[in-house]
Amino acid sequence: MSDPTDETSAPDDAHQELANPTLTAEAPVLDAGRAASGRDWPRVFGKVVFFAIALFLFILAIQLMKEGAKAIAPSLEDSPLFSNGISTLGAGWLGAYIVLSGSPIAAVALSLYVGGALTELQTFTMLSGSRLGASFVVLLVGFLYAMRNKGHNRGESIGMGVLALSLTAIVYVPGMLLGYAILKSGALDGIHLSASQDVLSLIDYIWGPALDLLTKLPGWTLLPLGLGLILISFRFLDKVLPQLDGERHGNKRLEWLKRPWPMFALGCVVATLTLSVSVALTVLVPLASRGYIKREESIPYIMGANITTLADTLVAAMVLGNAVAVHIVLAEAIGVSLVSLVFLAFLFGPMKRAIMALDDWVVSTNRRLWLFVAVLFILPAIFLTSGVWIGPIAH
């Protein structure tokens, strides 16, 4: 015979569970929370490892490029491609195209200066050139996005790249002139920013063995090797920094996206977090293509990103331990900041109308677009070869 309590216990338990749904709901939720927390640890640990690798490779690359610059300095002094400030402007510009980023080329410029291969003026113009070419990746992504999403507005995605390049030139050209005037005035001579002696000793202790090993290679290989390592370090850093998804974040468009100053601040913050103007601006391509943001609304954002993108270059200058290299970066940042603030505060309306008229004119036909792209390559090439037909320029 079966125990009658067996027949009633299950229904009673079921009734109790129905009466108190938290008894059944809480446990799975808590278990899911614990599971999610458990799954987060490998991801966090992975980010820490990637950051450590990125930091190691970044500092090693800076030190390698400094040693490589010393080795090739005599040959660069005799090269017409590095004989004046105009040629180094073209070198930085085209170099940013090749690596699809301005920061590695800026780091190369500073390393060449510390190694004695470039003058102060040449370093400044090469740094400026690297910023002029850094936005090329936005145009490239715009092309690719337009090809992949033929149903969306082609002019908006490609036009965002044209806007980024044009606006960078409009701000950086006067900013470069103003920045160099600030540099030569001596206004920054009292600023001494560098890694502390303890940090430099730590660098020697941790990175010294790898540096000693790699510097046994031929001197001319160290600069390209350092450039390759710094590109790899940025790849690892990309896995650590916040990932920006233009399509996802575009769904949360707010009214303040139409206001210049909040957009300017947002551009400053995003470029600081991602340490790359390329990443900060590329996210605008899908947003513009799908109508989440208008091109003219992104102008202040681009201006802000073009300023704080110099943050990693400033760190590189501090690691190199050269006061003038730090002054060069600061002068560039101050000059571009002042020009940007003047445009935003006093000339935003006329500037927006002019830049958008140029943008619309370029993207209206394929012929004009290809003419724009041709100018993007021909102009820096002319600058690069200026040493051949002008020769050295006194400075």
Give residue 105's domain range: 7-389
Handedness of CA 315, 317, 322, 326 (dihedral sign): negative
Distance CA 287, CA 277 (A): 16
Residue 312 belongs to a domain = yes
Q: What is the mean pLDDT of residues 128-156?
A: 80
Residue 1 belongs to a domain = no
User: What confidence tier does 16 reach under pLDDT thresholds 50, 70, 90?
Assistant: very low
Contact 371, 69 (CB under 8 A): no
User: What confidence tier does 227 reach under pLDDT thresholds 50, 70, 90?
Assistant: confident
Contact 253, 240 (CB under 8 A): no
User: Structural domain tally of the chain?
Assistant: 1
Handedness of CA 141, 144, 150, 154 (dihedral sign): positive
Tokens of 250: 């575009």
Residue 2 belongs to a domain = no
With a pLDDT cut of 90, the percent of the chain lying above it is 38
Q: What is the pLDDT of residue 58?
A: 83
Residue 395 belongs to a domain = no
Residue 266 belongs to a domain = yes
Residue 217 belongs to a domain = yes
Residue 394 belongs to a domain = no
Q: What is the pLDDT of residue 110?
A: 93
Residue 82 belongs to a domain = yes
- What mean pLDDT value characterizes the chain? 81
Does residue 321 or residue 169 have the better pLDDT? 169
Model confidence, pTM: 0.77
